[in-house]
Structure 1
Amino acid sequence: MKIDSPIPTLKGWLDTQSDDQLSIILKNRPDTVLPLPPNLGSLAARLQLRASVVRAVLKLNALELAVLEAAAKIGAELHPVAAPEVVEHVQNAFGEQTPSSQDCLNAISTLKNYALLYGDEQLMIAQETMSALPVHWTLLPELNDHGLSEEHVRESVDKLSERHRKLLGTLAASGGFGLTRDAAIDADPTRPIPQLLAAGLLARVDEQTVRLPALVRRVIEGREQLPAQVRPIPYSADPGADDTGIAAGLEVVRHMRLLIDALSHLPAPTLKVGALGVRVISRLSKELDLNEHDVARLCGLGVASGLLRRGVPDPLPTDDEGGDYIAPTPIADDWMEADLAAQLGTLMAGWWKQNFASWRVGEADEKDKPIHVLSKSSIIESLPDTRAKILSSLTRVSPDELHADLAFHYPLAASRMNPDTIAHVLEEASWIGAFAQGVTTAGQALVAGDDPAEVITAPAPVENFIVQGDFTIMVPGPLTPAMQKTMDSIAFLESSGLASVYRLSEKSIRHALDLGLTTPEILEFLSTHSLTELPQSVGYLLSDIARKHGTLRGGPALSYIRSDDPALLHSAVEAGVDVALRQIAPTVAIAQAPLLQVITVLRKAGFQPVAEDGEGASLNVAPAPARIPAAAPTPKPTVLDEGRVQAAVKAIKRENSAAQGTVSEQPTLAVLQAAVRGQKTVTLGFVDKQGIAVHRVVKPLTVNAGQVDAVDETTGAVHRFMLHRITEVIVDN
């Protein structure tokens, strides 16, 4: 289709660019390179695809978008404009924030590097660029056609009657244009349309058409004017407190170890939708002594880090009902044995890419049902990108300046960020140790795309602690993984941090004995690692509990229970009906069930049996930890390095030199859409229903669904043209 206009094209401009300039464009627009375009015409077409343009404009800062908007306002979509005109338009639009001429020229250069603007002295906007922006997007300050301010427009709209407001609302919902007989200059001034025209809330297009100004439309729709932050925010970021960040992160590491242990012994059954139900989260909350929100965070973090996964574990739980579970993967075993820096680095990397929004758990979804942990409704696909932009801003500015910095560097993304989401991301960054007064060294590694484990300097594990007479244990630093596991078994944490405090109690020691530890083993652990002599009160506590614990003895003879106390054994037999426990001697009973099952039943009944081997030594009869196979690693995306870029440029130019053909021309659709935005008059060449070629001077109003509605400049009538019948478009300058 021919467009009768000497308008420069993007392909023609690319043809004149140096290899270095083409390399810059390809690096900025890598999605247009793979697979390799055969020539510059194909490259130009890819650079103007809507999906590619959307990716490009999302990378622009506010000044670059403002320059683009200014160029469009003075007609750069339809005809070339001079760079000084664009700069002048931008500078006239802003007051105290007026950017310098050099900043504006730098923005123009950046837009050329993204191939969104092209040309040398005369500039044009590449097709689809303005269409790729959100509907009604604007950064330049708005005035309506009568020069009224936003405050005045809001006051005028507030004073309108319901009938007038409804009319403006209808126009806003239908595209902003309307046909009416009351648009004529001599129309009855008591009618709504003439009244709105006189008030400056409508603009007259012609005798039969009115237009809703953008400012009035925004006020009617209740949209706020975006903050036009077109100058960068001065640097104000404080250095991160690495010690505080590491302490917070290591606490998350400790909780993750506890979660992995809990799910190893009893995998969490999922709901039909793959989420974790309220009862499961409540059970884990009690078992880990954490609030349910932190449990939700840990579950999402574990899945994102590859330590946990949904599937069928091996071995299956004894009460398996055939559904899926959340359980550790074999990666968790390696993680549990790794050093603290590697453990924290793994969790930070998982947090950086996870899209699970734990704060949404418990809220109502679209169907007014509560959102569960790991459900689809708890997923925000854009969360990793939002997290990266927020932390990147915090490397430059303080939290007080965060919103302004986001508005400058990422205006399109910032306009869609929920303030609550920003607050929750900051809270999580502090929780994981990526932010503490400022972005920590590990957080900066995440922003830079590096492995945080390589920069984390976790304190060296300690092997000694102080056991005190009040049953508290003072630990001056992080313990080794093996010691930490033992400590978590015998004592409960009272105070966390790089230095922590644990407390021994009857309940904690019973827990250790249930796990298979013996009183001598506990005493040896405490005596060996205590920097001071073990207080007598601790020894008395252990001895007292040991006398009560293990008076029932069980063996694997499928299976038996023995006790030196016949009355106690008799009570145990009465409680062991479910496992067919039968007394065969005053001090011995047998059961037709595995020993683990017998011991579990008796413990639930309030007894405290332990397992023993044939010689009376204690046995650890805990089942093997449940595991779900790890997911296959995600293939890394192809990186467009400098060598590949240069090779691509040479190949494109070589093929372009050999190709035959003419320069691609402006497509009809793009020209008409630009004419609508710029309110330009065009001459349409089209074929009517009888096949006769016709030309008509019109002002396009709307372009959609393959149709063009336009006002005939000579008659004032509105005509509809089918896009496929249009043969040429001539833009009136």
Structure 2
Amino acid sequence: MSPSRTTPPVESATAPPELVGWLAELDQDKLYRLLRARPDTAAEPPPQSLGELAERLLRPGSATAVLRRLPVPCLQAAEALCALGDGPVPWSRLAQLLDAGAGERSAGLDTALTALAGQGLVWRDGQDRLYPSPTLRQVWPVPLGLGAPLAELLAEAGSAELRELLTAHRLPVPVARRDRLAALAERLSDPEQLAALLAEAPPGVRALLLESTGDGEFGHSEFGDGQCGAPAVSAQQAGLAAQWAHERGLLIPDQRGYGPSQVPGEVLLALRGPHWHPPFDPVPPLPELYPVGEAEVAREAAAAATAFTTQAAALLAACAANPPTLLKNGGLGPRELGRLTRTARCEEPLVRLVLECALAAGLLISGGGRPGGRREGQSARTTKRAADLAAEGGPLRLTADYDGWRLRPPAEQYATLVVAWLTLPFTPTAVLDQQGRSWPALVARPASPSCRHARRGLLTAAGRLPAGHGAARAAGLGRLIAWHRPQADQLPEQDWPFAAVITEAELLGVVARGTLSPLGAALSGYSPEQPGALREAARRLLPGATDRARIGADLTAVVAGPPTGRLAALLDAAAERESHGTASVWRFTAAGIRRALDGGRSPQQLSAELAAAADLPALPQPLAYLIADTARRHGRVKVLASGCVLHGEDPALLAELAAHRGLAALRLRRLAGTVLVSAAGPEQTLAALRAEGYAPVAEGADGLLLVDRPATVPPQRGSTPARPPRILPTSSELRRLAAHLLATTPPPGARPPVTETELAAEAPRLTRPEITRLSRALRLDQPVTIEYLTGHHTITEHTVTTLTLDPPYLHACHRTTPTTPITFELSHLYSVLPPPEARGA
């Protein structure tokens, strides 16, 4: 993988003092809630000071991931705040821009700002001034369709140039350069002062500014003032207008000298006037509602969850009895899916949903012997799907965890699967890829974090509907999800927004009658540290399992309600399941009885277990006859597992081999005078015989001699080691960390160092001296040379500066082209060297 060109990263070398001060003013509970909302900022190694925490809060990857979890008004308020500049913005100014100065809109703005502050994206000082995170400017480089701010356009302007601009506005000239920029920005961003300035402007200035494009650039072809109703101006007037605008900072020439001039964002915003307001939707769209009772919701949710759990148990039992075969490229193809659908008597979407949830829960294992699932809190980026690893095909098998899962009560079985559904990195019932082709089940798909956000958005949207009401149509619920999670991707093949997510939630009983069920409410508040609430909700709604079956003379067994795991395992071993649901039916057949005997049960043991399950003194006569007849024919032909067969024409020689003490490890067994069976494989058996002085030869299955040639060993290609997972801290650890950070006061002006422990975890190829060199370069902004391992297993060399750490990435700029940013994956860093001049290169 080659390093990628990206937008210039936010400089996080030093956290803004306003952010550090705001963190210091939080009490322990508020700081804990912030850490819980942004747990990646507290991952190992934990921050040791508020300054280091502030630096982590500003990391682009961490901050932009948070935005996917926020509703529409939060994103609208954050973008509007970016449009008002990077410095402190009075709350009243933001409220005026969004037309949210009073009433419901004002309350909605405060709610949005509180949510943004809870994620560390916006903070407020004691004078009601708002500070946006610098990372937000990276998300919205052109907020509200405006151009770059004045400070960015004049970043390379000298003090003399700023003096000339202020003099043109007849403003006093401050001493500090920063104050000069602030004074100029204040002047140009005031609509009234800008209107007065434009009233003195020569013809064509307003037209010149209004014809700028959405990103601040303007076309030089025409300067007509059609938007204002003014006549077009001549080329000479256009030139004078451009000069006049340049002299007053209304139009900023490119600092490099060859790009187009741009209108500052502050000017464009002021030109729109005080009566223009960007969209702000603090109230979610209310779908069409209809009244529903709590009992109705609970009843429908219980029926759906019970059916899902019963069908999941039947489907996984079918996989255990006859493991489906994976495709060579991974996943289950249409043939195996169809077979499972017929065997378990359920629809394909449900089969896909169950299999994906079971794999995520660690109940399935691939043909290569690799279990699915991942540890709680492990980064999804470092998790390998079992089907992805089983590219060689092979059977899909069940893990030891399945053996425990099938014996648990239905409520616990359901809880395991529904939690796995909540964390899936894609939508399992969405089967079409971008080219319109169907995905095989269990195949490795591109992970999409927005799928998890869509599920969370559904739980939030359905849970905030008016009490006693549900959405009359799923499409209305989908539009509500889009308000709560606007950055969650919608699948193109869906009939309405988030149709697949809503359908899955209904199959699981998470949503019922258009609203959040008690199971959904428990899932919404689920925590791995406290799983009891979800299990308790499932126990209240799902019926208890029964351990009794009614066995009839028609060779059927009927179980009313969900069977216990032991009863289901017994009946699945000895009979064929015909139906499941409120009542499950099994039919006894000779093949089923033979399967139970193959599993190690004797005829007497099987009869006793079935009689105990039916609470009968003896089995019905037809079933007893079926067991006896099958047992009579069972085992008449025996199949011996052997490593290899030895045969020859001399019975005396073979008898000598069978009695040879030096060959005892082969466990040779004589089947006939000229035939022996070895427990070891052919290679081990040949080596043992040759070691004892015999001269055997190898023979193929066709009876021809095998020629022994040395095997050619292919060259080994180094593999990229997996990056150690970043385990997220628990709630108790976050509380202790919050207390520690508030009790730790860093010395004035101290900058938190980039910890070498963190770099060692993210870049496993680097040696300790190289990690120290990279840490120093990050801390002191020193140039280094990076050797980078690409996806083609070639090494490229880059001398870079302006480094910014954003795990799992490292942003930098090439020293020869400082305006061209480049992004490296830390796990692909091969070595870190001093710059060429330090090496004498």
Shorter-chain TM-score bucket reads: 0.5 to 0.7
Q: In 1, Cα distance between the equivalents of 2:132 and 2:621?
A: 81
Q: CA deviation at 1:634?
A: 7.7
> What residue is the counterpart of 2:593 in the other structure?
512
1:455 aligns with 2:530: no
**Correspondence for 1:422:** 498
- Are 1:352 and 2:422 matched, yes or no? yes
Given the alignment, which residue of 104, 121, 132 partners 1:99? 104
Look up the match of 1:706: 819
Q: Secondary structure at the match of 1:706?
A: coil
Residue of structure 2 equivalent to 1:655: 746
Q: Compared with structure 1, are the counterparts of its residues 528 and 512 closer, same or farther at alpha carbon in structure 2 (3 Å cutoff)?
A: same
Residue 443 of structure 1 pairs with residue 443 of structure 2: no
1:230 is aligned, of 278, 282, 299, to: 282
SS at match of 2:429: helix
**Residues of 1 paired with 2:141 and 2:293: CA distance?**
37
Asked if the contact 1:62/1:409 (under 8 Å) is kept, the reply is yes
For 1:161, the equivalent position in structure 2 comes to: none
Q: CA deviation at 1:17?
A: 6.6
CA 1:532–1:338 in structure 2 vs 1: closer, same or farther (change >3 Å)?
Answer: closer
Say yes or no: does 1:297 pair with 2:372. no
CA shift at 1:42, angstroms?
Answer: 5.0
Q: Residue by residue, what CA displacement relative to the aligned partner does 1:555-602 show, whole Å, maximum 9, x if unpaired? A: 43869xxxxxxxxxxxxxxxxxxxxxxxxxxxxxxx9999xxxxxxxx
Aligned to 1:53: 63
Write out aligned runs for 1:169-568 (5 A): 175=215, 177-184=217-224, 229-231=281-283, 239=294, 241-313=297-369, 323-361=393-431, 363-366=432-435, 370-377=438-445, 379-397=447-465, 398-400=470-472, 402-403=477-478, 405-413=480-488, 422-437=498-513, 438-450=515-527, 451=531, 452-457=534-539, 458-466=542-550, 474-489=558-573, 493=577, 495-497=579-581, 499-502=582-585, 504=587, 508=589, 510-516=591-597, 539=621, 554-556=636-638
CA deviation after TM superposition for structure 1 residue 308, in Å = 0.6
TM-score (norm 2): 0.51
Aligned pair in 2 of structure 1 residues 306, 634: CA closer, same or farther (>3 Å)?
Answer: farther
Task: Say yes or no: does 1:123 pair with 2:199.
Answer: no
Question: 1:392-414: CA deviations, max 9, x gaps?
Answer: 32222234553454355434447
Question: Which residue matches 2:76?
Answer: 66
Residue of 624, 646, 652 corresponding to 2:739 = 646
| In structure 1, distance between residues paired with 2:578 and 2:462 | 33
Letter in 1 for 2:819: G
Matched-pair contact (CA < 8 Å) for 1:232–1:405? yes
Change (3 A) 1:646 1:523: closer
* Whole-Å separation in 2 of the counterparts to 1:244 and 1:14: 50
Q: Counterpart of 1:475 in 2: which secondary structure?
A: strand
**Matched-pair contact (CA < 8 Å) for 1:271–1:277:** yes
CA distance in 1, matches of 2:350, 2:220: 60
SS state at 2:524 partner? helix
CA shift at 1:433, angstroms?
3.2
Distance, in Å, in 1 between the alignment partners of 2:215 and 2:323 is 55
Is the CA contact (8 Å cut-off) linking 2:123 and 2:132 kept in structure 1? Answer: yes
Distance in 2 separating the partners of 1:18 and 1:419: 49
The number of aligned residues is 517
Q: Secondary structure at the residue paired with 1:91?
A: coil
Whole-Å separation in 1 of the counterparts to 2:503 and 2:677: 50
Contact 2:306 2:543 in 1 (8 A): no
C-alpha change, 1:521 and 1:89, in structure 2 (3 Å) is same
Aligned CA distance change for structure 1 residues 127 and 357 (closer, same or farther; 3 Å): closer
**2: distance between equivalents of 1:406 and 1:243?**
24
Residue 329 of structure 1: how far off its partner (Å): 1.4
Deviation track 1:501-541 (CA, whole Å, cap 9, x = no partner) reads: 52647xx4543345438988887667655589999xx7458
> Alpha carbons of 1:386 and 1:139: their partners in 2 closer, same or farther (altered >3 Å)?
farther
- Distance between the aligned counterparts of 2:637 and 2:414, measured in 1? 42
Percent of pairs with identical residues: 19
For the Cα contact (< 8 Å) 2:86–2:134, is it kept in 1?
no
Deviation at 1:459, TM superposition (A): 2.9
Closer, same or farther: CA 237–377 of 1 in aligned 2, 3 Å: farther
Distance in structure 2 (CA, Å) of the matches to 1:93 and 1:121: 17
CA distance in 2: counterparts of 1:660 and 1:335, whole angstroms: 51
* Residues 128 and 557 of structure 1, relative CA distance in 2, 3 Å threshold: closer
Distance in 2 of aligned mates of 1:428 and 1:60: 23
By how many angstroms is 1:321 displaced? Answer: 12
Q: Do 1:245 and 1:436's aligned partners in 2 also have CA atoms closer than 8 Å?
A: yes
3-state secondary structure, aligned to 1:645: helix
TM-score (norm 1): 0.57
Aligned counterpart in structure 2 of residue 11 of structure 1, from 17, 24, 32: 17
Gaps of 5+ in 1: 1-8, 141-170, 195-204, 214-224, 315-319, 560-590, 595-630, 662-703, 708-733
**Matches of 1:370 and 1:246, distance apart in 2:** 32
- The correspondence of residues 132-143 of structure 1 with structure 2, limited to 5 A, is 132-133=138-139
Per-residue CA distance 1:313-365 (angstroms, 9 max, x = gap): 59xxxxx997554211111222223333322222222222222533233x345
**Distance in 1 of aligned mates of 2:482 and 2:503:** 21
Give 1:119's aligned amino acid.
D
Cα distance in 2 between the residues matched to 1:531 and 1:226: 73
Q: Is the 8 A contact 1:49 1:128 kept in 2?
A: no
Q: Distance in 1 between matches of 2:593 and 2:351?
A: 23
Q: 1:512 corresponds to which letter in structure 2? A: I
Aligned partners of 1:82 and 1:360: how far apart in 2? Answer: 46
CA contact (8 A) 1:53 1:128 kept: no
Distance 1:336 1:660 in 2: 54
Partners of 1:380 and 1:333 in 2: how far apart?
Answer: 31
Task: Please say if residues 142 and 215 of structure 2, whose CA atoms lie closer than 8 Å, have aligned partners that are also in contact.
Answer: no
